Chains A and B, each alone.
Chain A
Amino acid sequence: MTAATALIADDEPLLRERLRAHLALLWPELEIVAEARNGREAIELFETHLPRIAFLDVHMPGLNGIDAARAIARRAELVFVTAHEHYAVQAFEHGEIDYVVKPFEEARLADSVTRLKSRLAAPQPLPSDFEAVLDRLAGELKARGGPEGRKYLQWIRASVASSVRLIPVEQIAFLRSDEKYTLVVWEGGEALIRTPIRELAEELDPDTFAQIHRSVIVNLRQVAQVDRGFNDTAEVRLKNRREVLPVSRSFLHVFRQM
């Protein structure tokens, strides 16, 4: 039997050190051959040292523990390390993949060590749902990270004075095409941007923003009233603003169903 070797991957140095110290007590024969600070390093160091065990922190910068697990796959015994027991339990409930929780508990870690020893003695195939468990874990992790970027524009970058402002789209009153530029008018001021109004019309959420004229996009939430004029045109007035925006005949349908 070859010697027991392991890799530890965690972005927090104190925790790598701690796990190494715990393992030294519980399993003196285990040799820690490498320590990685992120998923990318974990994969590189795994390829160099080919340890038989990999302790992978789930949450790491760049590539995370799940990405590293996918790369290592069936070539080592995997133990996930996580501070968030909730999603670990959810993801591993039915899987045969081992995990330990931070802060480390001696007893729990000792259980893991026992299981690892028996697996090394009599290698078992990874559970068939290995990929599915990783997918589930990745899903949990993503959900915790908050809502993902949506397909619509949430911010508009605009140069104001000497700095580049990020303007939340919900604060924008309207956008007006001005030859080569587009004028952005929002609660906090006005700015010119280079993105043509055509492009913006495609990138903004159609539930909130509507093109009402060849050169005008309005934030529907900021519309106070629509006045009908001659010849199938109209004018839009905004809340707390003096500007009156034209609605041309071909965009009049925007207000038909309101």
Chain B
Amino acid sequence: MSSASASAPVLRPALQEIVGALTWRRAAVAALLALGVAALLNPVFSVSFWVLLGRMMFIAALLLITFAAAGTWHPRRIPPWLAQVLAVVIAAPIATVLAYLPSVDGNVIELLRHEGRVMGFVFITASVLFIAPLLALGALYRERDAQARAAQLGFALERSTLEKEALDTRLKLLQAQIEPHFLFNTLANVQALVESGSPQAAPVLKSLIAYLRAAMPRLHAGASTLGDEIALVRSYLELMRMRMPDRLAFAIDVPADIAARAFLPMSVLTLVENAVRHGIDPGENGGRIDISARHEADGSIRVIVADSGAGMSPAAVPGTGLTNLESRLRGFFGAAGRLELHEARPHGLSAEIVVPASPAAGAQTATPGARP
């Protein structure tokens, strides 16, 4: 398991990763510390300061590369940070020996014979062993800090994306909901009723007005209850039944206590329009739409729009209406608000809105019957 690659969801060649870890900043810190240690140890060393500094620089560079290389190794038994620190600790004496090799022409035995060199080796190894792990831990701390910041930025970005989506959805909703095709066909029917002096004309016109009023884009959608929404759905279905009396049957069964609850405007209507357009209208024989609402065992409420149409093809692209509804439900009811699609029996689609037991904090309590 690795957390070192957490910020990068990619697989890169190890070499690239090592080079990536060798930042200018890290190199500068290592060089500065090498300079400081060389200056501190200078009084006890017999060799010139420049030779000492050269050795320290060499050791620092080697340890930095070790640290970076160990970062690409994703061990399974120990945490990766420990692996990196251990690598540096093990590399410290080896690097020191390597730093001394040029002065003894590559002969390690020669190195051990000279007391001054052994002392120098011990001094340098001790100071490196003291400083290097601390430095490694510091670097790792900074790395984690940077990762946390990156994650935070990621969250902020995701949140602003969500906010933008919510705004887009709202804007789309504000654009006219009324389809010209629906409007003119309905008006043609109303005209037919009026011209033939049918007593049906007045109630149908009333339904059309109720529908148009609700479907008009509104900037400030006022408080609305499920009952209001169902009244709108009824208007719409009455209009459609006038237009296709031999092809559409419908029934609405919503208990009064559920109807009184605050509800997302234009939500059930979206499902019913969808049921008419894709379930009832395409078939020569039409079908029926049943709208119901019930309390669930867990206290949530389920509003069901079931049609007896052909159902949904597995490759049918969900309409923007349905996609929007899903995000609008979340915006209004919180994460517990959702849309479920079930197959109806023997055929057709059952679209179900599930909302939490108590309305989300943002939902206002509604005054029944009041609509702007």
User: Which positions in A face B, CB cutoff 8 Å?
Assistant: 11-15, 17-18, 21, 37-38, 40, 59, 61-62, 83-86, 101-104, 144, 146-157, 163-166, 168, 188, 223-229, 234, 252, 255-256, 258
- B23 close to chain A: CB less than 8 A: no
B192 pairs with A188, CB closer than 8 A: no
B343 pairs with A166, CB closer than 8 A: yes
Inter-chain contacts of A154 with B (CB < 8 A): 314-318
10 additional A-B residue pairs with CB within 8 Å, beyond A152-B315, A155-B314, A225-B9: A40-B284, A59-B181, A61-B284, A61-B286, A104-B191, A146-B319, A156-B314, A166-B341, A168-B318, A223-B9
Q: Which residue of A lies closest to B186 (CB)?
A: A83
A148 pairs with B317, CB closer than 8 A: yes
Question: How far does the Cβ of A25 sit from chain B's closest Cβ, in whole Å?
Answer: 11
Inter-chain contacts of A12 with B (CB < 8 A): 185, 188-189, 243-244
Q: Which of A84, A149, A188 contacts B315 (CB 8 A)?
A: A149
Residues A150 and B315 in contact in the complex (CB < 8 Å), given A163-B342, A188-B338:
yes
Most chain B CB inside 10 Å of its own CB: which residue of A21, A153, A154, A258:
A154
Question: How far does the Cβ of B58 sit from chain A's closest Cβ, in whole Å?
Answer: 32
Residues A61 and B342 in contact in the complex (CB < 8 Å), given A15-B188, A225-B5:
no
Inter-chain contacts of A168 with B (CB < 8 A): 318, 341
Give the complex CA separation of A225 and B74 in angstroms.
15
A21 pairs with B196, CB closer than 8 A: yes
Q: Which residue of A lies closest to B12 (CB)?
A: A228
Q: Which residue of A lies closest to B243 (CB)?
A: A12
Give the complex CA separation of A253 and B321 in angstroms.
37
Q: Which of B11, B189, B282, B284 contacts A228 (CB 8 A)?
A: B11
B284 pairs with A18, CB closer than 8 A: no
- B126 close to chain A: CB less than 8 A: no
Question: How far does the Cβ of A244 sit from chain B's closest Cβ, in whole Å?
Answer: 9
Question: How far does the Cβ of B162 sit from chain A's closest Cβ, in whole Å?
Answer: 13
Residues A83 and B181 in contact in the complex (CB < 8 Å), given A13-B245, A17-B192:
yes
Q: Which residue of A lies closest to B5 (CB)?
A: A227
B343 pairs with A157, CB closer than 8 A: yes
Q: Which of A188, A228, A256 contacts B74 (CB 8 A)?
A: A228
Residues A14 and B192 in contact in the complex (CB < 8 Å), given A149-B315, A166-B312, A166-B342:
yes
Inter-chain contacts of A104 with B (CB < 8 A): 188, 191
B284 pairs with A84, CB closer than 8 A: no
> Between A and B, how many residue pairs show CB distances below 8 Å?
134
Q: Which of B9, B180, B192, B243 contacts A18 (CB 8 A)?
A: B192
B181 pairs with A164, CB closer than 8 A: no
Inter-chain contacts of B319 with A (CB < 8 A): 146
A37 pairs with B284, CB closer than 8 A: yes
Q: Which residue of A lies closest to B323 (CB)?
A: A168
A18 pairs with B5, CB closer than 8 A: no
User: Which positions in B face A, CB cutoff 8 Å?
Assistant: 1-2, 5-6, 8-11, 74, 180-181, 184-185, 187-189, 191-193, 195-196, 242-247, 281-284, 286, 312-319, 338, 340-343, 349-350
Give the complex CA separation of A26 and B67 in angstroms.
95
Inter-chain contacts of B6 with A (CB < 8 A): 225
Q: Which of A157, A224, A258 contacts B314 (CB 8 A)?
A: A157
Q: Can you give 17 A-B contacts (C-beta < 8 A)?
A: A12-B243, A13-B245, A18-B188, A83-B180, A101-B184, A103-B187, A149-B315, A150-B317, A154-B314, A163-B342, A163-B350, A166-B342, A168-B318, A228-B11, A228-B74, A234-B11, A258-B10
Give the complex CA separation of A40 and B246 in angstroms.
16
Inter-chain contacts of A258 with B (CB < 8 A): 9-10
Give the complex CA separation of A84 and B314 in angstroms.
30
Q: Which of A83, A144, A156, A164 contacts B188 (CB 8 A)?
A: A83
Residues A229 and B74 in contact in the complex (CB < 8 Å), given A11-B247, A62-B283, A153-B315:
yes
A61 pairs with B283, CB closer than 8 A: yes
Give the complex CA separation of A14 and B227 in angstroms.
30
Inter-chain contacts of A40 with B (CB < 8 A): 284
Inter-chain contacts of B196 with A (CB < 8 A): 17-18, 21
Q: Which residue of A lies closest to B184 (CB)?
A: A83
Q: Which of B181, B191, B245, B340 contacts A84 (CB 8 A)?
A: B181
Most chain A CB inside 10 Å of its own CB: which residue of B312, B318, B338, B349:
B318
Inter-chain contacts of A85 with B (CB < 8 A): 184
Q: Which residue of B lies closest to A59 (CB)?
A: B181
Question: How far does the Cβ of A40 sit from chain B's closest Cβ, in whole Å?
Answer: 7
Give the complex CA separation of A40 and B285 in angstroms.
12
Q: Which residue of A lies closest to B204 (CB)?
A: A14
Most chain B CB inside 10 Å of its own CB: which residue of A15, A61, A152, A165:
A61
Question: How far does the Cβ of B202 sit from chain A's closest Cβ, in whole Å?
Answer: 15
Q: Which residue of A lies closest to B8 (CB)?
A: A225
Residues A103 and B74 in contact in the complex (CB < 8 Å), given A61-B281, A258-B9:
no
Give the complex CA separation of A24 and B33 in angstroms.
104
B180 pairs with A84, CB closer than 8 A: yes
Give the complex CA separation of A61 and B244 in angstroms.
11
A37 pairs with B74, CB closer than 8 A: no
Q: Which of B1, B9, B188 contacts A102 (CB 8 A)?
A: B188
Residues A227 and B74 in contact in the complex (CB < 8 Å), given A11-B247, A103-B187:
yes
Give the complex CA separation of A127 and B73 in angstroms.
76
